[in-house]
Structure 1
Amino acid sequence: MVVGTFSVNADDKTPENEFRVGMETAYAPFNWTQTSDAHGAVLKYGEKNSYAGGYDVEIAKRVAEGLGKELVIVPTQWDGLVPALTSGSIDAIIAGMSPTEERRQVIDFTDPYYESRLVVVTRKNSEFANATSLADFAGAKITGQLNTFHYSVVDQIPDVVYQDPMKDFSAMRVALASGIIDGYVSERPEGVTATNVNENLTMIEFAPEDGFQTEPEDVQVAIGMRKNDPLVQDVNQILAGISAEERTELMDLAIQNQPSASQEGEMSLWSTLKQIMSEYGILFLQGAGLTLLIAIFSTIAGTLIGLLVGVFRTLPQSDQPLTRFMQKLGDWLLTIYIEVFRGTPMMVQAMVIFYGLALAFGIDLNRTVAALLIVSINTGAYMSEIVRGGIFAVDKGQFEAAQAIGMTHTQTMRKIVLPQVVRNILPAIGNETVVNIKDTAVLSVISVGDLFFQGTAAAGTNYLFFQTFLIVGLIYLVMTLSATRLLRLMEKKIDGPDAFTKVEEPIEGQR
């Protein structure tokens, strides 16, 4: 490990003494998430009490040591790995990625650091549990991970019932356990892990002539690096120094040391929930804290944006031609902003803003900063229309009365209109807060470490999907109910007493 000053390379955008590696940290035994540094796990970038372990991490440690750099593990969703690499957010992908021809058109690959065999994971009680060849899976509902070679070979199964590809292995395992699919294509290490953890699953291996027909590169995994990266040759030399025996030993240790392998047999639901909380509770709390930070900050910022836009769009038209033109131009630009951010999914906005800024302008945003920016701008677009409706709800007579006593437009808005607007839109602000708490989940596409991201990492490691997401769902419910209750109390406070005593004039003869 080299210790020195942090000088930033303009092309790589990362400190020169760091080797930043992207991986899912949820694809055991290649990579997973744990809450300690046991078995040589490495602290994940930008997180506390969250470590990455696994075969990929061990390979990354050896490469970083050979390069004389400090290893930094950057947790990244699968779909975001290539954009993160090409944008300079990471220096390499070490995530069980196959060097397919399609990927080689975008990034370069090193020599392979592992070679595996394709298998099919199915249920033990399935009619396909005793299959020995691909032909035995005729009529089966089979899928694979999105944007991977695994899904592309599904068509080699005769009369297969195609299922849409799924985002990650966590989703496929849940679908398999629930009977939605009959099996999924995977690599042998993942299949071994799945069957070790879930006794209801089995892994089907095939003889070479009866299984998937693949090219060598299809079953190999290699390190992805940017096009024409001069470090590719250096990394190849480091990999060449890791013998086949050592690589096998590293994989065997990864399967043995992964957190899911240490689980006990059958446990009650309550015992399982307690175990998950004891192992990953701190990560869930950190994720929940970040979720609340993003939701509350973005709601406040979005409301301020909405108020500013609403006030601007109600300005009286100027008599000066240039000022009138600028008003129309500003109104036109604000209309585009509102329509674009209301008319596109936040997930797409996150990808475009986070990776697009890095690719186009070399701006490498911190993930949390990016999340705050994305959700605030998105919320502002919605709040702008809500504020506009709130302003229109104020009686026109109040505008006319203010004008009659000589108040300017700014004074009218500040002292008369906006206080009423804020009260009128409080329910909508509360709704936006609840929506933002839930919608932070889509930010996992840029690997923001919110509650959903931490839950996905935990479930991808312990394979207890129902139990893990039951806990995550309950935490979301507590947050949304608390936010709703607090905002209702705020509404009540602003409204004042629920009832006022009406003082009537006494009837003649009464005292």
Structure 2
Amino acid sequence: MINIFLENWKTLLDGFWITILSSIVGLVGSLVLGTIFALLEMAPNKFLKFIGSAFVEFFRNIPLLVITLFFYVVVAADFHISGFWSGTIGLILYTSAFIAECIRGGVDSVDPGQMEGARANGLTYTQAMVQVVLPQGFKLAIPSLGNQFINLVKNSSILSFVAGFDLMYQANVISGANLDPFNTYIIVGIMYLIITVSVSKCMSIIESKVNGGATE
């Protein structure tokens, strides 16, 4: 196993950084998009609520591979989207649907009196939601958001199906060349573990900070 790593460390490292880059872009994109559609789901306007719910239900119930291949095969035919961006866009759309539900669940857990109090003090619904309720909802949603971020990192292996040159793609290339998939995929598993444990640790630190340094 060590020999395989030493012989292919540069290739593995290239894939490692591509996986991290896709995960970071996917994390930021899905968090922004998920927040927007969570707000739409909770909007008092029925049309906006329908749009938010339709988006979440649509992307939450379609396999990630189907979304990714749609961009790689169909959209790329006209817009020349690379495998990296096909997979990353698929990750953003797919994960944002789950993040929207996490945020909505967090907001639903906030005391309704917070909204009522904000409105009583002259804030509009939008102001009350953005300035008062949503920040508290984010705080309550941190544990579930952390789980979704970890799932996003693991799901980034979808790039290997569309020549995204990520860690799993490079592992497949190395495995085919050295005919030793067992040790190759153990190495790759460890590298994925490094990323996911780091994400988990970061979310634990954030959760501790927003709770005033208290730990569970």
Q: TM-score, normalising length from structure 2?
A: 0.93
> Which amino acid is 1:277 matched to?
F
Q: Give the aligned partner of residue 13 of structure 2.
A: 285
Q: Give the aligned partner of residue 62 of structure 2.
A: 344
> Which amino acid is 2:163 matched to?
S
Give the CA RMSD over aligned residues: 1.6
- Residue 91 of structure 2, aligned match among 364, 375, 386: 375
CA separation in 2, counterparts of 1:294 and 1:454?
15
The answer to whether residue 92 in structure 2 is matched with residue 335 in structure 1 is no
Q: Give the aligned partner of residue 469 of structure 1.
A: 185
CA separation in 2, counterparts of 1:475 and 1:386?
27
Following TM superposition, by how much is the alpha carbon of 1:458 offset from its aligned partner in structure 2, in angstroms?
A: 0.1
**CA deviations over 1:251-272 (Å, ceiling 9, x no partner):** xxxxxxxxxxxxxxxxxxxxxx
Aligned 8 A contact 2:15 2:169 in 1: yes
**Percent identity of paired positions between Structure 1 and Structure 2:** 28
> Which amino acid is 2:11 matched to?
L
- Residue 314 of structure 1, aligned match among 39, 42, 54: 42
Bigger strand fraction: 1
Following TM superposition, by how much is the alpha carbon of 1:406 offset from its aligned partner in structure 2, in angstroms?
A: 0.8
> Which amino acid is 2:7 matched to?
E
Structure 2: state its 5+ residue gaps.
none
Following TM superposition, by how much is the alpha carbon of 1:368 offset from its aligned partner in structure 2, in angstroms?
A: 2.0
CA separation in 2, counterparts of 1:357 and 1:349?
11
Q: Which has the larger Rg?
A: 1
CA separation in 2, counterparts of 1:485 and 1:496?
17
Q: Give the aligned partner of residue 418 of structure 1.
A: 134
- Residue 491 of structure 1, aligned match among 186, 207, 212: 207
What secondary structure, in the 3-state scheme, does the structure 1 residue paired with 2:123 have? coil
> Which amino acid is 1:335 matched to?
S
CA separation in 2, counterparts of 1:478 and 1:274?
17
What secondary structure, in the 3-state scheme, does the structure 2 residue paired with 1:416 have? helix
- Residue 152 of structure 2, aligned match among 436, 449, 471: 436
Aligned 8 A contact 1:299 1:429 in 2: no
CA separation in 2, counterparts of 1:333 and 1:354?
25
Aligned 8 A contact 1:386 1:428 in 2: yes
Q: TM-score, normalising length from structure 1?
A: 0.41
Q: CA separation of 1:334/1:405 partners in 2, compared to 1, >3 Å: closer, same or farther?
A: closer
Following TM superposition, by how much is the alpha carbon of 1:340 offset from its aligned partner in structure 2, in angstroms?
A: 2.1
Q: Give the aligned partner of residue 356 of structure 1.
A: 74
- Residue 303 of structure 1, aligned match among 16, 24, 31: 31
By relative contact order (CA 8 Å, sep 6+), the higher-ranking structure is: 2
Following TM superposition, by how much is the alpha carbon of 1:335 offset from its aligned partner in structure 2, in angstroms?
A: 2.7
Following TM superposition, by how much is the alpha carbon of 1:365 offset from its aligned partner in structure 2, in angstroms?
A: 0.4
Q: CA separation of 1:491/1:382 partners in 2, compared to 1, >3 Å: closer, same or farther?
A: same
Bigger helix fraction: 2
Aligned 8 A contact 1:301 1:376 in 2: yes
CA separation in 1, counterparts of 2:60 and 2:213?
37
CA separation in 2, counterparts of 1:313 and 1:474?
38
CA separation in 2, counterparts of 1:433 and 1:340?
20
Q: Give the aligned partner of residue 3 of structure 2.
A: 275
